[in-house]
Structure 1
Amino acid sequence: MTDFRELKEWEKAHELTVAVYKTTQAFPEEELLGLTQQIRLACSAIPIKIAQGCNREDKEDQVNFLVLARDAAIEVEYYLLLCYELDMLDSSDYDRLVSRTVEVKELLESFIDKLSHNF
């Protein structure tokens, strides 16, 4: 078992989650139970699933959790686009957060490939 805090994938996902939480503080109050909550939940699912996968002994189980984390990153990408198109994010915040999300997604895809070849 690996301590999830030692993984670059988890660290980048955690940093993304903190950035999303900080950025969404400026979202309209009426979206608190809407898009704000949805994007925060999707984003926080990424490091959560990575951490859960690290707790698994079986490599196939680890990969399954990483796939869930990657899928959550794809969900975040969509929410960011939706928030941008609804003028809840300016272009600089959108570009910054999407770039971080894509980086996390690519790290996860690489990690999934690496682990998948080991079973």
Structure 2
Amino acid sequence: MHRVEDLKIWNKSIKLTKAVYLLIANLPLDEKFGLTSQIKRSVISIPSNIAEGAGRNSQKEFKHFLSIANGSAYELQTQLLLIIELDLITKDKVQPIIELCIDIQKMNYALQQKL
């Protein structure tokens, strides 16, 4: 069992979640139940699954939940790229968040290898 607040990946994923929420506040209202909703589910899934895995009783279970979190990070990355492709928000505003997402993916992979 790991103390989730001590995990760098969890803290970084909380930072990602906040950045994404601030970014998508700028999306058009007609995206509220479409892309906005899907992005929120994806980004919230990342720290939530890291936390759930950290609270489990085995390294194997932790690794499983890290895998789910990583899938959500890739889903989020795709959705952020769609925001750019659909010209909903400019690339210069979205790119730093994509880079943070990729950093979390790398951290996740490294942590899974360590376990």
TM-score, with length taken from structure 1: 0.94
Give the Cα separation in 2 of the matches to 1:105 and 1:88: 24
Shift of 1:57: 1.1
Residue in structure 2 matched with residue 112 of structure 1 by the alignment? 112
Shift of 1:58: 1.1
Query: Which has the larger displacement, 72-81 or 89-98?
Result: 89-98
Amino acid corresponding to residue 48 of structure 2 in structure 1? I
Shift of 1:89: 1.9
Q: Which deviations, in whole Å up to 9, do the C-alpha atoms of 1:34-53 show, x marking residues without a partner?
A: 00110111011000000000
Q: Taking every aligned residue pair, what percent have the same amino acid on both sides?
A: 31
CA contact (8 A) 2:84 2:94 kept: yes
1:1-119 map, 5 Å: 1-115=1-115
Give the Cα separation in 1 of the matches to 2:19 and 2:66: 21
SS of 2:87 mapped into structure 1: coil
CA RMSD of aligned residues (A): 0.7
Unpaired segments ≥5 residues, structure 1: none
SS of 1:57 mapped into structure 2: coil
Q: Which deviations, in whole Å up to 9, do the C-alpha atoms of 1:54-98 show, x marking residues without a partner?
A: 111111111000000011000011001111101112111221111
CA contact (8 A) 2:49 2:69 kept: yes
Unpaired segments ≥5 residues, structure 2: none
Shift of 1:31: 0.4
Give the Cα separation in 1 of the matches to 2:93 and 2:48: 23
Matched positions, count:
115
Give the Cα separation in 2 of the matches to 1:55 and 1:93: 34
Give the Cα separation in 2 of the matches to 1:96 and 1:102: 10
Q: Which deviations, in whole Å up to 9, do the C-alpha atoms of 1:92-115 show, x marking residues without a partner?
A: 122111100000100000001110
Deviating runs (4+, > 2 A) in structure 1? none
